[in-house]
A = this chain, B = another copy of it.
Amino acid sequence: MTAAVLCVGTELVRGEIVNTNATWLCEQLTALRHEVVETLAVADDEKEIIAALTRLGQRYDLVISTGGLGPTTDDITSACVAKLLSVPLVRDEAGVAALKQRFVQAGRTFYESNIKQLDFPQGAHPLPNEVGTAPGFSVTIGKALAFFVPGVPAEMKPMFECSIRPQLASLVQGGEHQVRLKTFGMAEAAVGELLTGVEEQFAVTLGYRAHFPEIEVKVLARDASQSSAEERANGAARVVRERLGQIVFAEGDVTLAQSVGRLLSARGLTLGLAESCTGGLISHLVCERPASDYFLGSVVCYANQIKEQVLGVNPDLLRDKGAVSAEVAEQMALGARRVLGADVGLAVTGIAGPSGGSSEKPVGLVHYAVATPAGVMLSQTQFPRSRDQVRLHAAYSALMLVRRALG
């Protein structure tokens, strides 16, 4: 079953709001194994709405349209559908009575403009709206089964769940399974080269998504049954993991910080941080998900006086080697262990830019140290990009070092 999502609203094509409805609907339809071929947004404009629906009805089995069902003059989707199908709009008088009743019960003023929302193209099947005032409806346009739902997400989503999902779930044959592997530390081109031949070997589709600084590898299998699709996707994912090795840090929606947290929790270890150039970013990434099992805290030592006075870094070392050095990183990591009472101390110091670099220590140079009960492990990177990118890359590199230190 091929599908398209149409979102109606001038605010979308003017860039005034992000189209999260399209994303949500695509995600639901994909999970229900309908293949969304395109999503489209058009203004509240009769000519454009009719042109879009006509074209989508010729091409796809399923169309879901959001928006333009409300009470104001710019809400014209129902009228456009009626015109396109050459049928009149017919008022659902029972619906009007029920809506008035709801307003009375809620003690709200009923405005006559609400009545327009109960006008449906003749032959349409209404979809109830339990949350708001605009019902949806379904009709056939061309070869497509077309559903019309409100643009307000809080109304659209329950309507999809109650009235659309059950119909769609019953329409699709066969199985599909996708495995998503998250990587850090290798360019997209290099990851792609390492996976040459996997698509052919397993008859899967590989997709790549660069979400800086991660590269996600998606392994998608379709087959006659769900179980055979899963088997094939999982088989291919095993080979992908083998070929990519340590750069794979997690599967699905697990974050890098979470993957580190799981390794620490499994060993009963706590984590403390000493952050200079990352300025709290690692701590923030750790705390995005609940972390009190293993995370104690962080000393963000942006100024050198904090490195000395709070973390106990030797002032002579700061003067002789500079704040951005392996030696200071090591003392910061040991200081984080001691001051925060943590089993594992992780430290980062570097030059985020845009200024502060020199020929000897250029913007993008970052030193890392992780101190564990077993000793200290050091690393460094040289990644000359924008300030945001240097900092995010450094935060990821630091967390990857903890993974390495824990084996």
Contact = CB atoms under 8 A, between A and B. Distances in A.
B280 A188 contact: no
A107 B382 contact: yes
A26 B14 CA distance: 5
Contacts of A38: 13, 40-43, 48, 52
A209 interface: yes
A374 interface: no
A386 to B, nearest CB: 8
A26 B15 contact: yes
Contacts of A70: 188-189, 208, 210
Contacts of A26: 12-15
A341 to B, nearest CB: 6
B23 A388 contact: no
Interface stretch (A27-35, A136-144, A313-321): A27-35
Interface stretch (A84-92, A166-174, A233-241, A288-296): A288-296
Interface in A268-309: 270, 273, 275, 278-284, 286-292, 295-303, 305-306, 309
A72 B297 contact: no
Given A273-B300, A291-B302, A207 B12 contact: no
Identical chains in the assembly: 2
A380 to B, nearest CB: 12
Given A37-B42, A38-B52, A284-B281, A19 B19 contact: yes
Nearest to A295: B302
Q: Which secondary structure dominates chain A's binding surface?
A: mixed
Given A189-B111, A280-B281, A300-B300, A340 B16 contact: no
B37 A43 contact: yes
A114 interface: yes
5 closest cross-chain pairs (CB), A and B: A279-B287, A280-B283, A15-B27, A15-B26, A280-B280
